[in-house]
A and B are shown apart, each in its own frame.
Chain A
Amino acid sequence: MKSDLPGQDFGVSQGIYGYLLRAYPLRHRAQYGAAMAQLFRDQCRDAWNESQTWGLCKLWLRVLPDLACTSILERLAALNERKTMTEKLANLCAFRGTPAAIFVAVFGVVFLVVFIISVAITFILPESYASTARIKVESDAPTTNGQPLAYGSYFIQTTFEIIQSQLVLSNVIARLNLNVEWGKKYFAGQTLKSSETMEMLKPRMQLAQVKNTKLIAITVYSDDKQEAAQIANAIAESYRDYRVDSVANMKAQGMETLLQGYQMQEDQIHTAQSAVESLRQELKIGGEATASQSAQEQPYWDGKRNLSQLLDLHKLLYAKILAEKMDGQMPQSTLVQIVDRAEPGRAPVKPNKTLNIVLGAVAGFLLATLAGAAFAFLSHLIGQRSRKNAGAV
């Protein structure tokens, strides 16, 4: 295969790999070092032909962990072939050069390995977008003397639980057809059950109260920014609909009770009216009350007073029913207002690439310093002991 690899890149990669081969035991290097370098050169050529510089980067991301793991394994294998502990340690630290050179070599390898692994993990991790919808919620609890009850943490906590409940989320799933869509996306087209979708949806939601306000922030995370915004908005709308429906249902039930009471009162009034009229005819009493009411007429006047009270109550009940009817026709959207609709995020919120890379560099620096110092110190000790042994012989 003809290579169109630039000479400079080729030489640099080969040179670095050739230097890193020193991580292997001498014997292994003598037997396979040339073949490994040749294989690496072939892989460089393929990687360059595949996607040029990015191809070479990907190759290094594969080769460095491979080199780190296998060089440790080969050194451990070489240890088992040695006889004395001193020989074992000498083999483990069998780098040529001064302790300073050993420190630099070990530092370089460990730092590169840790840093490149952290960069690779950062770019391999799936990206996650966040979208937030904000809603303003009012309590619909009964009031005392016209004053609303306290807007406390119980109400907010209850609201959070309701938003995460089947009452609200089942509507979200139905609106966005998530059983089918997520089945296609994550389960090879298999339609999910609502309970399964809900279990997947809950961990992607985050609810928080905006401090010292009646606002609740509904944040949804997803690998698709459009989907995150759609779900956040659907949750806000479903919760609003749930509150409006539940208040409407409550009012409908109250109205039914009022109408039943009204009907019962009407029956009582008719009965009372009949009784009073019978007494009036029986006692031959005129339409107006007179000053001289005899004791015989007393039942009539008592019945008439009862009837009058019943009629007053009936009027009050009628007025209450009219008021409830008008209230029921008023829009209830003030219970929940969608203050901010969720918009698709511009950039992924996770992983935090800059932070991860900086942490990788810091961790690499610390580990590399420790490993370099340990190897250099060990090499120094072994060198001293070897010189002593040689002197004794």
Chain B
Amino acid sequence: MAKPKTDPLSRLPLTPAVFHVLLALADGERHGYAIMQEVAATTNGRIKMGPGTLYGTVKRLLESQLIEESDERPDPHLDDERRRYYRLTGVGEQVVRAEARRYADMASLARGKKLIGKAALVAQPGGGA
């Protein structure tokens, strides 16, 4: 198992999939399906993670100790007890905060250069195949 790095900045930048999963867990612990739904909801359906991507990401996050599996379960009558729940670790929370700050800084930079808010040009395919 990989040794966790103490400095959150040394783990940046995160891949989009990792960042979305960490953001989904920022509100509290969730199981895989709930993470997938949260990511889809927060991106207006643009990102729908497949099982391979989701659990590949979860595996790497567990190995790097940014998330951990939770033993606690909600009321077993309300949920499938076979589901595995995940939550952020302390380091994971620091890392997702640092990444969010990095995105905010970049957004501020782009706003300063008036790149945000301007209508993006859309390219039109020609009569190609």
Interface of A toward B, CB cutoff 8 Å: 24, 28, 31-32, 34-40, 42-43, 62-63, 66-67, 69-71, 73-74, 126, 128, 130, 186-190, 200, 203-204, 206, 221, 350-352
A32 touches B55 (CB 8 A): yes
Q: Which of B84, B124, B126 contacts A186 (CB 8 A)?
A: B124
Query: Is B127's CB under 8 angstroms from A204's CB?
Result: yes
* A42: B residues at CB distance < 8 A: 33, 36
A32-B59, A206-B127, A350-B128 known; A69 and B82 CB under 8 Å? no
A187 to B49, CA, bound (A): 30
Q: Cβ of B56 and Cβ of A73 under 8 Å apart?
A: yes
Indicate the member of A39, A43, A66, A74 with the most B CB atoms within 10 Å: A39
Could you tell me the distance in whole angstroms from the C-beta of A117 to the nearest C-beta in chain B?
14
Contacts of A126 in B (CB 8 A): 125
Asked if A70 meets B52 with Cβ closer than 8 Å, knowing A38-B82, A187-B122, the reply is yes
A–B pairs, 24, beta carbons within 8 Å: A24-B52, A32-B58, A36-B52, A36-B55, A38-B80, A38-B82, A39-B32, A39-B36, A42-B33, A66-B49, A66-B51, A66-B53, A67-B50, A69-B53, A70-B50, A70-B56, A73-B56, A128-B127, A186-B122, A186-B124, A187-B122, A200-B124, A203-B126, A221-B127
Q: Decide: A39 and B53 in contact? CB cutoff 8 A.
A: no
Closest chain B residue, CB of each to CB of A42: B33
- Which chain A residue shows the least CB distance to B129? A350
Assess whether A71 is in contact with B52, with CB atoms less than 8 Å apart: yes
Report yes or no: B53 in contact with A70, Cβ–Cβ below 8 A: yes
Residues of B within 8 A of A (CB): 32-33, 36, 48-56, 58-59, 80, 82-84, 119-122, 124-129
| A contact residues around B52 at 8 Å (CB) | 24, 36, 63, 66-67, 69-71, 74
CA distance A38 to B54 in the complex (A): 12
A106 to B51, CA, bound (A): 20
**What's the Cα separation between A258 and B120 when bound, in Å?**
58
Which residues of chain B have C-beta atoms less than 8 A from A350's C-beta? Answer: 127-129
Q: Which residues of A contact B126 (CB under 8 A)?
A: 203-204, 221
A372 and B80 CA atoms in complex are apart in Å by 39
Q: Within the assembled complex, what's the spacing in Å between the Cα atoms of A200 and B126?
A: 8
Nearest CB of chain B from residue A152's CB, rounded to whole Å: 29
Is A62 within 8 A of B127, CB to CB? no
Q: Name the residue among A34, A37, A63 with the largest chain B CB count within 10 angstroms.
A: A63
Which residues on the B side are within 8 Å of A69 (C-beta)? Answer: 52-53
Q: Which residues of A contact B82 (CB under 8 A)?
A: 34, 38
Q: Of B54, B125, B129, which one neighbours A39 at CB under 8 angstroms?
A: B54
A188 contacts across to B, CB distance below 8 A: 119-120, 122
List, in ascending order, chain A residues with CB within 8 A of B125's CB: 126, 128
Residues of B within 8 A of A204 (CB): 126-127
With a cutoff of 8 Å between Cβ atoms, the chain A residues found around residue B83 in the complex are 35, 38
Minimum Cβ distance to chain B for residue A77 (Å): 9
Inter-chain contact A35/B122, CB cutoff 8 Å: no
CA distance A35 to B85 in the complex (A): 11
Q: How far is the CA of A190 from the CA of B122 in the complex (A)?
A: 11
Question: Nearest Cβ in chain A — how far from B81, in angstroms?
Answer: 12
Q: Are A187 and B127 touching (Cβ within 8 A)? A: no
Contact among A28, A39, A186 with B59 in the assembled complex (CB-CB below 8 Å): A28
Complex Cα distance, B83 from A66, in Å, reads 22
**Closest beta carbon of chain A to B120's beta carbon, Å:** 8
A39 touching B33 in the complex, CB below 8 Å, given contacts A66-B51, A67-B50:
yes
Which residues does chain B contribute within 8 Å of A66, judged by CB atoms?
49-53
**Smallest CB separation, A79 vs chain B (Å):** 15
Closest to A68 in B: B52
Kindly list chain B residues whose C-beta atoms are within 8 Å of the C-beta of A43. 33, 36, 51
Interface hub of B50, B119, B121, B126 (most chain A Cβ within 10 A): B50
- 10 tightest Cβ-Cβ pairs between the two chains A and B: A66-B50, A70-B52, A221-B127, A36-B51, A203-B126, A188-B119, A32-B55, A39-B51, A42-B33, A66-B52
Instruction: List the A residue with the shortest CB-CB distance to B124.
Output: A186
Tell me, in angstroms, the Cα distance from A111 to B113 when the chains sit together. Answer: 48
A63 to B122, CA, bound (A): 28
Q: Cβ of B124: which chain A residues have Cβ within 8 Å of it?
A: 186, 200
Find the A residue at minimum CB distance from B127: A221
Complex CA–CA separation, A67 to B50 (angstroms): 8
CB distance from A19 to the nearest CB of B (A): 14
Min CB distance B129 to A, Å, is 6
On chain A, the residues within 8 Å of B80 by CB distance are 38
The complex places the Cα of A128 from the Cα of B124 at a distance, in Å, of: 12
Contact A351 to B129, CB < 8 A, known contacts A38-B33, A62-B48, A67-B50: yes
Task: Indicate whether A63 sits within 8 Å of B119 (C-beta atoms), given known contacts A35-B32, A221-B127.
Answer: no
Question: Which residues of A lie under 8 Å from residue B120 when comparing CB positions?
Answer: 188
How close is A98's CB to chain B, nearest CB, in angstroms?
27
